[in-house]
Structure 1
Amino acid sequence: MVSQSQTASLNIMSSSIKEPQLTIQSFHQYSSLISIKLSTTNYLMWRSQITPLVRSLGVFHHLESDEVPSDEIKDDAEKKSPNPVYATWIINDGLLLSWLCGTMNEEMLSSIFDAETARQLWKSLEEQLLPITIEKERNMKNMFMTIKKGSRSLNEYLKEFKWICDNLSAIKKPVSDFDKVFRFANGLGPKYENFRLAMLTKPPYPTFSQFVLALQGHEQSLETLRDEEKIFLEHEQAFYGQRERGRGSRGGRFNSRGRGFTPA
Structure 2
Amino acid sequence: MAATESFSSAPLSISQIVTLKLTESNYLLWKTQFESFLSPQLLLGYVTSAITRPEATRSVTGTAGVTEEPNPEFTKWIRNDQLVMAWIFGSLSEPALRMVYGMQSAQEVWTALAKKFNRVSTTRKFELQNRLRACIKIGRTMEQYLSELKQIFDQLDSIGFPMTDLEKIHGLLSGLGKKYESVSTVIEHSMDSVPGPCYEDVVFKVTAFDDKLKTYSSASAVTPHLASS
Q: TM-score range by the shorter chain?
A: 0.7 to 0.9
Q: Identify the match of residue 146 of structure 2 among 155, 158, 174.
A: 158
Conserved in 1, the CA contact under 8 Å of 2:82 and 2:105?
yes
- In 1, Cα distance between the equivalents of 2:149 and 2:128? 10
C-alpha root-mean-square deviation of aligned residues, in Å?
2.4
* Amino acid in the other structure paired with 1:189: G
Q: Percent of aligned positions with the same letter in both sequences? A: 23
Matches within 5 A, 1:84-95: 84-95=72-83
Shift of 1:22: 2.8
1:143 aligns with: 131
Conserved in 1, the CA contact under 8 Å of 2:25 and 2:158?
no
Q: Identify the match of residue 116 of structure 2 among 122, 128, 144.
A: 128
Larger Rg over CA atoms: 1
Shift of 1:86: 1.4
Q: Deviations over 1:163-214 (max 9, x none)?
A: 2223333344332322221221121111211221233245435322111111
Q: Identify the match of residue 23 of structure 2 among 36, 39, 42.
A: 39
- In 2, Cα distance between the equivalents of 1:167 and 1:186? 19
Shift of 1:233: 5.4
2:156 aligns with: 168
Shift of 1:64: 1.0
- In 1, Cα distance between the equivalents of 2:18 and 2:105? 21
- In 2, Cα distance between the equivalents of 1:193 and 1:95? 59
Q: Identify the match of residue 53 of structure 2 among 58, 68, 73.
A: 68
Gap change, CA 1:28 and 1:37, over 3 Å in 2: same
Matches within 5 A, 1:1-264: 16-23=2-9, 26=10, 29-65=13-49, 67-76=52-61, 77-201=65-189, 203-204=192-193, 206-230=197-221, 239=229
Gap change, CA 1:198 and 1:95, over 3 Å in 2: same
Shift of 1:100: 1.1
- In 2, Cα distance between the equivalents of 1:209 and 1:101? 40
Give secondary structure in 2 for the equivalent of 1:115: coil
Gaps of 5+ in 1: 1-14, 240-264
- In 1, Cα distance between the equivalents of 2:166 and 2:156? 15
Conserved in 2, the CA contact under 8 Å of 1:94 and 1:117?
yes
- In 1, Cα distance between the equivalents of 2:222 and 2:73? 83
Conserved in 2, the CA contact under 8 Å of 1:20 and 1:58?
no
Return the TM-score normalized by structure 1: 0.75
- In 1, Cα distance between the equivalents of 2:168 and 2:58? 60
- In 1, Cα distance between the equivalents of 2:15 and 2:120? 26
Give secondary structure in 2 for the equivalent of 1:78: strand
Gaps of 5+ in 2: none
Q: Deviations over 1:203-261 (max 9, x none)?
A: 43532211111111222233334444555556566x3xxxxxxxxxxxxxxxxxxxxxx
Shift of 1:122: 0.3
Give secondary structure in 2 for the equivalent of 1:73: strand
Conserved in 2, the CA contact under 8 Å of 1:22 and 1:92?
no
Conserved in 2, the CA contact under 8 Å of 1:69 and 1:85?
yes
Return the TM-score normalized by structure 2: 0.85
